Amino acid sequence: MDASIIVPAFNEAKNIDTVLKEIKSVGDYDVIVVDDGSTDGTGKIAKKRARVITIKKNKGKGHACRTGAKAARFQNLVFIDGDGQLPAKYIPLFLKKLNGCDLVVGNRPKKYIPLQRRISNKFASVIIKKITKIDMGDCLCGLRAIRKKDFEKLKLKKDRYEFEGETIIKAAKNNFRIKDVSVKVRYDRYTGMPFVQSMKVAFYLLKEVVF
């Protein structure tokens, strides 16, 4: 299936080549790396295996994903993190699942997630359920698939890690059919969400409940 794979990346020089090799091993896709202000040569490494969009100053994951989606050549989009925590082997499955819905989201089993991340994910899931009435086991997973026309319909605004939550909230408000798929995750490669950004995600979700 024709698809554009969007890889937001910030200072992932040690991981990006492995990520791109894994993507290439599962299909001949239009791969776009959005180098979000990296200072370690991430973009230079990525150019060997993918199209690269360079953002000179770091603007955040949400901004990078919107930038990549805009440049996508195909309607089917898959977003996957540039740190290698989420295996690219799931991409064909996500695209297959997209045939029967509007948004596919990865669901990382709790046993693979460190305690601190489990707590933040549970908080986000509870808040999003309150907003959308949808019970999702993992609403912050960076591996997801959607059609470009539907992505554009969401009119996403958040530039940083609020991106995942905002996508699900707006998808639910647009009556999108949402499916989740269980995926394994490697936290030995995870670069981590800064504490300040975690707080911003929490405040964003709480604001959505209140207003």
List pLDDT tens digits, range 131-164: 677 777 677 889 999 999 999 999 999 888 788 8
Give pLDDT, residue 117: 61
Give pLDDT, residue 184: 87
CATH number of 206's domain: 3.90.550.10
At residue 174, what are phi and psi to the nearest 5 degrees?
-95, 10
Tens digit of each residue's pLDDT (9 = 90 or more) over 5-42: 999 999 999 999 999 999 999 999 999 999 999 999 99
Structural domain that includes position 100 = 4-210
Q: What single letter denotes the amino acid at residue 40? A: D
**CB under 8 Å, gap of 24 or more: what pairs does 153-157 form?**
156/62, 156/66
Give the CA angle between residues 160, 200, 13 to the nearest 5°: 40
Q: How many domains does the chain have?
A: 1
195 pLDDT above the threshold of 50: no
Q: What single letter denotes the amino acid at residue 46? A: A
How many angstroms separate the CA atoms of 200 and 76, rounded? 30
> 């992505």: which residue's tokens?
151
Strand order through the sheet with 144-147: 51-55, 30-36, 4-9, 76-79, 144-147, 103-107, 178-182
| pLDDT band at residue 211 using 50, 70 and 90 as cut-offs | very low
> 């639910």: which residue's tokens?
172
Beta strands in the chain (DSSP E): 4-9, 30-36, 51-55, 76-79, 103-107, 144-147, 178-182
Strand partners, 31: 5
Tens digit of each residue's pLDDT (9 = 90 or more) over 45-86: 999 999 999 999 999 999 999 999 999 999 999 999 999 999
Give pLDDT, residue 10: 96
Give pLDDT, residue 46: 98
